[in-house]
Amino acid sequence: EKVIRIEAINALRRLRYTMPRKIQSILMPIYKSRSETPEIRMIAMRKIMETKPEQVVVDQIVRLMEVERDPQIRAFTYKTLKTISEVPEIHEETVHHVKKALTTVDTEFYENLNNRVLRWTVKNENNRYGVSVDLHSLFTKDSVLPKELITTMDAILGGKWYEYFAQLGFSQQNVDEILNKLLHKLLETDMEHLVVRGKRSTLYRPAE
């Protein structure tokens, strides 16, 4: 069920510009709900920010971040907002809204939190060509492996900004469990092999 819900949320990106408020009304309750898994909440928050939200929506996200109990969600939310605030090419109004909202928070506190949003930007001297790459990774407490990795590339071609020029990612569920079972199986096989080989060497030991 969780995998289906994640795919459904990701599919909303096709409507982020044509029906932004509708997407916000669907995803904001998910981001707010503490009964939801952190993974789904973080994905919902990121998708909201892709809709070019107005100031009131950004302010609401920051207020929720301030009272959030899960440090992982707080760190992810802050780093996502900070990344947006540092890249004016994304959307000028969105950047302005985010910068204004972040003036109310203790940035030193959030900088010390563990975060997993990285961004690289390369441009030529006159800013006519370049690329900007975001790497988002979602980690949850029940797994040492990322539940989702998404790479988003924005591009500048001939001085024109192309947001979300390309996007590539993957999500996984229960891979840790599968790997653990495989590891235990390999260990059991190795132990069985050693035991059998030990028995054979004892059985066929040449007489002195």
Asked whether residue 19 falls in the same domain as residue 67, the answer is yes
Q: Are residues 10 and 96 in the same domain?
A: yes
- From 53, 81, 115, the end of a domain falls on 115
* Rounded CA separation 67/69 (Å): 6
pLDDT tens digits along 19-46: 999 999 999 999 999 899 888 998 899 9
| Global pTM value | 0.59
- 62 Cβ neighbours under 8 A, 6+ residues apart: 81, 101, 102, 104, 105
Residue partners of 23: CB distance under 8 A and separation at least 6: 12, 15, 16, 47, 48, 51
CA triplet 86, 88, 93: central angle to 5 degrees?
Answer: 115
- The verdict on 91 and 122 lying in the same domain is no
**157 and 108 housed in the same domain:** no
Amino acid at 74: R
d(CA 5, CA 8): 5
Answer whether residue 19 is part of any domain. yes
Domain that holds residue 187: 118-194
Does 39 share its domain with 106? yes
Name residues whose C-beta falls within 8 Å of residue 34's C-beta, 6 or more positions apart in sequence: 69, 70
pLDDT score, position 41: 92
pLDDT at site 115: 47
Is residue 208 included in any domain, yes or no?
Answer: no
Considering the domain architecture, whether residues 90 and 129 belong to the same structural domain is answered as: no
Query: What phi and psi values does residue 52 have, to the nearest 5 degrees?
Result: 55, 60
Q: Is the per-residue pLDDT at 154 higher than 60? A: yes
Could you say which of 115, 145, 175 is where a domain stops? 115
The number of folded domains in the chain is: 2
Given a cut of 70, is residue 187 above it in pLDDT? yes
pLDDT of the residue at 59: 97
Q: Does any domain span residue 81?
A: yes
Alpha carbons 107 and 99: distance in angstroms, whole number: 12
**End-to-end CA, the chain:** 67
In this prediction, residue 130 carries a pLDDT of 73
Residues 10 and 106 in one domain: yes
